[in-house]
Structure 1
Amino acid sequence: MIFGIAGIIISLVLLITLAYRGVPVILAAPVASAVCLIFSGAPLLASYTEIFMPAMAGFVGSFFPVFLVGAVFGVLMTVSGYAESIARTVTGWVGSRSAIAATVITSALMTYGGISLFVVAFVMYPLARELFRVADIPRRLIPGTIALGIFTFTMTALPGTPQVQNIIPGQFFETGAYAAPGIGLLGGALILGLGLLWLEYRRSALIRKGEHFESIESAPVIGGSADDGSSHQLATLVPANKVVPFLPLLTVFAVNFSCTLLIFPRLDWSYLAEEQFGEITMEARSGLWAVLLAILAGIAVLVLLNMKDIRSLRVGFTDGVKRSMLPIFSTASEVGYGAVVASVAAFAVVRDSVFNMGAGALWTSIMTTSITAGLTGSSSGGMTIALNALGEDLRQMATADGTSLEAMHRLTAMAAGGLDTLPHSGAVVTLLIVCGLTHRQAYKDLGMVTLAIPVVVVLGLAGLVSAVGAF
């Protein structure tokens, strides 16, 4: 048993090391799985084909449509010029002197509007760079500013966000995308407010030290200009009316809200209890279906607004399909690794130790999700690993101790968006590469707004919910 536990730890360290050194997770996860299996004495080939691959395929089967339409929608918003138009409009509202707030708000609008996180990063960097240059704000703050808008409150906290991190808990707790709106809104406001305060404090501190926009040298950008979508910009599609680019985002919000709270609850879903549909409930799938329909509706509106240039938009569909592949399979590979770890005998000892701590369903869910997200460097992958292994037990525990499943949904999702941005995180590495900066130059501020602040907020909210209940 000692060797088995050692194998789990060593495999996790190996996964982190390989990811940090740039090895694709699609390859790193099977290698780490093999190490875990060797130490536990489990059969390698059988575990790979009968445990790793079914878990990986299951995640792809459940969430590939969301990754696909999200990527397509994001690229279409880019090549149509709508994303840039939104950024410039928001900047006009906020003012170029408030470059940090303008960047955060624009990034948040795109993320909450259903655009893939990585697509938003590529879109926002050239715009943020120009804003920061004009305002003479140190460049090292750009990654943290973009990250605050896309990797934190709009990804996990705000009720109704169409990002996959808000959908995953619903598959296990049978809750919707708008679960615990009070907790989500308060948590989102705290993360946003504290994050902006930190970035403004750092801007003032760095300027007092004499640092300016061009004070530090850039690291080499790997594929930055080629991937930001500017090469496909369709200038003829940029509308003169500044309201038009917001219509696809508003459509995503309206359809998601309507399906989740108004339409789905009024429909007859009794047929889902039949064996051919897996004997599921509407609550277990409503969040996924609502987001899928919402993003499809957003794509439809965008295409209808640009029917005259439909041939040009084909570029966006093709690029979107390509860009959906690596994120979905990378996350699914991590899920396969989690299934392998959960299958070894030593994991049962670890699991039982966690449940015997007596922390309750809410705190247990938060702790396990935070730890797995941190170890894998992925919010969605870590949360799926934790809930695949413990989700059913957590539901039963929550029912027994009277914990609100909606509160557990919201705080579990928020917990996944904390330690997931440790330095080895693929999202962190990608964002720094896009911005042409190194960990040494920019991670301090990025880590503060995406890791330290969200973790503190989640702990505070969990304590509040434990004291007064869900709200």
Structure 2
Amino acid sequence: MTSTLAIVVSLVLLMYLAYRGITVLLLAPLMAALAVLLSGDIAFFLPIYTETFMSALSGYVLQFLPIFLLGALFGQLMADSGAAHSISRWIVDRLGDEHAILTVVLACSVLTYGGVSLFVVAFAIYPIAIDLFRTADIPKRLVPASIALGSFTFTMTALPGTPAIQNAIPIPYYGTNVFAAPGLGIIASAIMLGGGLWWLRSRAAAARLKGEGYGQHTEAKILGAQPDENNSAMSHMPLVLAILPLILVIGVNGLFTYFIFPNIDLSFLTEKFPSVSPAKMTGLWSLIVALVVACAILVISRLGHWSNLKETINKGVFGFMLPLFNTASEVGYGAVIAGLAGFAIIRDAVLNVAPSNPLISQAVAMNVLAGITGSSSGGLSIALQTLGSDYLRMAQEAGISPELMHRVAVMAAGGFDTLPHCGAIITLLAICKLTHKQSYLNIAAVTMAIPLIALISVIALGTMFGSF
């Protein structure tokens, strides 16, 4: 009982202090240490840190470093080449001011589904969004929710093939790939997109009836948010070249996932790397190859047009470190918690939420941990690190496809991760120069309430019809 209470106290403090803005890099080891001390395992304090916390942290870094690095680099290349700006402006020109909300959501969706970092997308789309909303006389307070709907929801967790890190994390645990349960993913995406647009449009209509308008706001230029129109790479990126890297990320990934790797006998790898399971790793390998190809094509296609290619590459490479080590620290924290005696009580309680249907139990676990950590990738990583083997066993016993488990896990992690203390939400509001009071209710509606409906729908359909 004491150990369980120690875990709860450390979790509450982790959530509260993260909300107050203290970095998880420091919080994770400190809160893990606090849980160990309160549980009475002080004699094992240092070995738990060096052998458990650091082993889990380094293992996560070893496994997912290429995805984080290549994803951050690709996002920076898309931003600095002008590709992101060209795509978003093309969508704006086609849909116009009268469809301001739809335009912002689709622009964010195309970029994030193509592999551009959601933070890069937020910076790139914000200046366009405020121009559209001001012209259409839609309240600015709806801008963050519009960006969040296009960036933080279906393109991150549901659309098959999305290169988001959240969609890659379950691969080594379930032996799946980023296209897991494509039919269910598309249905969930339609629910999130349709429901989110309905909500935002209804809020805009209600504001119009009240005569609210855009509001009085002093707009300041966001550093790095707007492209420099004097830069030829930014101003004249042809649409075909701009969208080609996004197509390659999805296309090359699918090519290697479904055609190349399945038709190669990889058994020879086990002779030199006996711990490697090709069946569980080809999903990650496919994504790595796709990101490398997309980055290379983007660089080559714009040779002679980069303002400072070296600076762009350095900025992209340096940019992956904080997100990676934040998540890895949370994984280390989860490993320490999982090793405490009190965790057995929590684990059994979660696993017994719906013992006959691990989809429900898994959804609860992912949502809770993502909510506590304020991070979909962090919560998902902790849950799978500690409970992944249990869920795979339960799924096999219940005859549930690992692909269905994969999709439900990712979607569930993208639910309560956007509670007020979420770092991505805090950053988004800072970019938009708005407060939680002004915008959070609408963000919560499109990133938590409606995705929860989509998640329940997928669980129900998956339970009745299986994975498809």
1:126, distance to aligned residue in structure 2 (A): 1.6
CA contact (8 A) 1:260 1:287 kept: yes
User: Using the alignment, how far apart are the partners of 1:27 and 1:232 within structure 2?
Assistant: 40
User: Using the alignment, how far apart are the partners of 2:261 and 2:106 within structure 1?
Assistant: 31
User: Using the alignment, how far apart are the partners of 1:47 and 1:122 within structure 2?
Assistant: 40
User: Using the alignment, how far apart are the partners of 1:225 and 1:233 within structure 2?
Assistant: 17
Alignment of 1:319-358 (within 5 A): 319-357=315-353, 358=355
CA RMSD of aligned residues (A): 1.8
Equivalent position of 1:135 in the other structure: 136
- Per-residue CA deviations over 1:276-300 (Å, capped at 9, x if unaligned) read 4243322311221111111111111
User: Using the alignment, how far apart are the partners of 2:202 and 2:409 within structure 1?
Assistant: 30
Equivalent position of 1:302 in the other structure: 298
Equivalent position of 1:271 in the other structure: 268
User: Using the alignment, how far apart are the partners of 1:184 and 1:170 within structure 2?
Assistant: 16
1:9, distance to aligned residue in structure 2 (A): 0.7
CA contact (8 A) 1:172 1:387 kept: yes
Q: What secondary structure does 2:396 align onto?
A: helix
- Per-residue CA deviations over 1:308-340 (Å, capped at 9, x if unaligned) read 135622221011112111111111111111111
- Per-residue CA deviations over 1:245-279 (Å, capped at 9, x if unaligned) read 111111112111111111111112112323x4243
1:217, distance to aligned residue in structure 2 (A): 6.9
CA contact (8 A) 1:373 1:379 kept: yes
Alignment of 1:103-118 (within 5 A): 103-118=104-119
CA contact (8 A) 2:86 2:238 kept: no
Q: Which of 453, 463, 468 is the equivalent residue of 2:465? A: 468
Equivalent position amino acid for 1:21 in 2:
R
User: Using the alignment, how far apart are the partners of 1:237 and 1:355 within structure 2?
Assistant: 51
Residue 20 of structure 2 is aligned to residue 24 of structure 1: no
User: Using the alignment, how far apart are the partners of 1:466 and 1:241 within structure 2?
Assistant: 46
Q: What secondary structure does 1:308 align onto?
A: coil
User: Using the alignment, how far apart are the partners of 1:182 and 1:22 within structure 2?
Assistant: 39
User: Using the alignment, how far apart are the partners of 2:343 and 2:315 within structure 1?
Assistant: 40
Alignment of 1:40-119 (within 5 A): 40-42=39-41, 43-119=44-120
Q: What secondary structure does 1:76 align onto?
A: helix
Residue 358 of structure 2 is aligned to residue 361 of structure 1: yes
1:39, distance to aligned residue in structure 2 (A): 1.3
User: Using the alignment, how far apart are the partners of 2:230 and 2:330 within structure 1?
Assistant: 34
- Per-residue CA deviations over 1:127-178 (Å, capped at 9, x if unaligned) read 2122212222111011110111111100010111011111111110001111
Alignment of 1:41-440 (within 5 A): 41-42=40-41, 43-215=44-216, 225-228=222-225, 230=227, 234-236=231-233, 238-239=235-236, 241-274=238-271, 276-310=272-306, 312-357=308-353, 358-440=355-437
User: Using the alignment, how far apart are the partners of 1:11 and 1:237 within structure 2?
Assistant: 47
User: Using the alignment, how far apart are the partners of 2:252 and 2:36 within structure 1?
Assistant: 45
User: Using the alignment, how far apart are the partners of 1:464 and 1:383 within structure 2?
Assistant: 22
User: Using the alignment, how far apart are the partners of 2:135 and 2:226 within structure 1?
Assistant: 22
Q: What secondary structure does 2:223 align onto?
A: helix
User: Using the alignment, how far apart are the partners of 2:439 and 2:60 within structure 1?
Assistant: 33
1:356, distance to aligned residue in structure 2 (A): 3.4
1:196, distance to aligned residue in structure 2 (A): 0.5
1:229, distance to aligned residue in structure 2 (A): 6.4
User: Using the alignment, how far apart are the partners of 1:355 and 1:232 within structure 2?
Assistant: 55
- Per-residue CA deviations over 1:203-248 (Å, capped at 9, x if unaligned) read 1111222222234678xx8xx7224364698334543633221111
Equivalent position amino acid for 2:157 in 1:
T
1:443, distance to aligned residue in structure 2 (A): 0.4
CA contact (8 A) 1:138 1:215 kept: no
Q: How many percent of aligned residue pairs carry the same amino acid?
A: 45
User: Using the alignment, how far apart are the partners of 1:59 and 1:132 within structure 2?
Assistant: 41
CA contact (8 A) 1:71 1:119 kept: no
1:82, distance to aligned residue in structure 2 (A): 1.2
User: Using the alignment, how far apart are the partners of 2:230 and 2:335 within structure 1?
Assistant: 42
CA contact (8 A) 1:272 1:279 kept: no
1:418, distance to aligned residue in structure 2 (A): 0.4
Q: What secondary structure does 1:37 align onto?
A: helix
User: Using the alignment, how far apart are the partners of 1:249 and 1:233 within structure 2?
Assistant: 25
User: Using the alignment, how far apart are the partners of 1:119 and 1:283 within structure 2?
Assistant: 33
- 179 and 240 in structure 1: CA distance in 2 versus 1, 3 angstrom threshold: closer
Equivalent position amino acid for 1:41 in 2:
G
1:302, distance to aligned residue in structure 2 (A): 1.0
Equivalent position amino acid for 1:67 in 2:
F
Equivalent position amino acid for 2:158 in 1:
A
- 142 and 89 in structure 1: CA distance in 2 versus 1, 3 angstrom threshold: same
CA contact (8 A) 2:83 2:239 kept: no
User: Using the alignment, how far apart are the partners of 1:194 and 1:317 within structure 2?
Assistant: 38
User: Using the alignment, how far apart are the partners of 1:52 and 1:84 within structure 2?
Assistant: 41
State TM-score, norm by structure 1: 0.95
- 376 and 359 in structure 1: CA distance in 2 versus 1, 3 angstrom threshold: farther
1:64, distance to aligned residue in structure 2 (A): 1.3
CA contact (8 A) 2:127 2:226 kept: no
User: Using the alignment, how far apart are the partners of 1:175 and 1:249 within structure 2?
Assistant: 22
1:91, distance to aligned residue in structure 2 (A): 1.1
State TM-score, norm by structure 2: 0.95
- 233 and 256 in structure 1: CA distance in 2 versus 1, 3 angstrom threshold: farther
Equivalent position amino acid for 1:250 in 2:
I
Alignment of 1:446-461 (within 5 A): 446-461=443-458
Please list every run of 5 or more consecutive structure 1 residues that lacks an aligned counterpart in the other structure. none
Q: Which of 436, 439, 443 is the equivalent residue of 1:442? A: 439
User: Using the alignment, how far apart are the partners of 2:96 and 2:225 within structure 1?
Assistant: 24
Q: What secondary structure does 1:309 align onto?
A: coil
User: Using the alignment, how far apart are the partners of 2:451 and 2:288 within structure 1?
Assistant: 27
Please list every run of 5 or more consecutive structure 2 residues that lacks an aligned counterpart in the other structure. none
CA contact (8 A) 2:227 2:234 kept: no
